[in-house]
Amino acid sequence: CGKSFRKIHNHLCVEIRICDSYKCWTCEKSFNQRSHLIVHMRIHSGQQPYSCEDCGMSFSDHSNLNHHRRTH
């Protein structure tokens, strides 16, 4: 294909999307890591396990909570 990659695995991820092995059974969106699927599934379940200690606002992803904390 003319592209160069450090590892064949990275090449396969781009060319044939072999990395998308974790699929959401609700909306069929695919992820290359199980942890990304778990965070995504919280959208469908409404689960928000991360709460701001200052205002009580809840988030489904820890990084969203960290971003929110900068507003205080």
The model's pTM is 0.60
Residue 5 · residue 11 · CB < 8 Å? yes
**Dihedral of alpha carbons 13, 14, 15, 21, sign:** positive
The residue that leads in pLDDT, 1 or 60, is 60
Angular region, 16: left φ>0, alpha ψ -120 to 50, beta rest? alpha
Residue 6 scores a pLDDT above 80: no
Over residues 28-72, the pLDDT tens digits come to 898 878 888 999 999 999 999 999 999 999 999 999 999 999 998
Q: How crowded is the C-beta side of 30, counted as CA atoms within 13 Å?
A: 7
Fold classification of 20-69 is Double Stranded RNA Binding Domain (3.30.160)
- Pick the range with the lowest mean pLDDT from 13-17, 23-27, 42-46: 13-17
Measured between alpha carbons, how far apart are the two ends of the chain, in Å? 49
